[in-house]
Amino acid sequence: MNGVTAAIRRRVARALESGGGHKAHRFSPRERTAVGNQLLLCGIVVVMFVVGLATGALPRAELFALGVLIVAIGTIAALAVPWARTTAGWIAASRSSTSSRS
C-alpha cells in the first residue's frame, strides 16, 4: 500500500511541477487595462440605469436601456479581442504613456 501511495504522490508532484499539462493563462497589462476600462464603463452605465429607474429620473427609459445594451455588447466584444496583439494606440491608458515620451 505504501508503494502505491508513494507512486501517486510522485505523479501528483510531477503534474504540479509541469503545470498539469496546461499552461496558466496570464493576462498582459495591456489586456487587463482594456478589459478593466470596459468593465468599469459598463458597471457605471448599469448603475446609472438602475438608479434612474428607481428614482424615476429617466423620462425615456427604453432609449437609455438601448444604450446600456450597446455598452454591454461592447464589453462582451472587448473581452473577445486579443489586446496583447494590438498596437498601444487602441488602448486609452497606453496612449498617455506613449505620448509622454515625445
CB atoms within 10 A of CB 78: 18
Helices (H), 1-102: 2-18, 29-55, 61-80, 92-99
pTM over 0.75: no
Question: 17: pLDDT confidence band, cut at 50, 70 and 90?
Answer: low
Q: Mind listing the pLDDT tens digit for each residue in 48-102?
A: 999 999 999 988 999 999 999 999 998 898 888 887 777 777 766 554 555 545 4
What is the rounded CA–CA span in Å between residue 42 and residue 92?
Answer: 16
Contact 75, 39 (CB under 8 A): yes
Q: What are the boundaries of each domain within the chain? A: 26-91
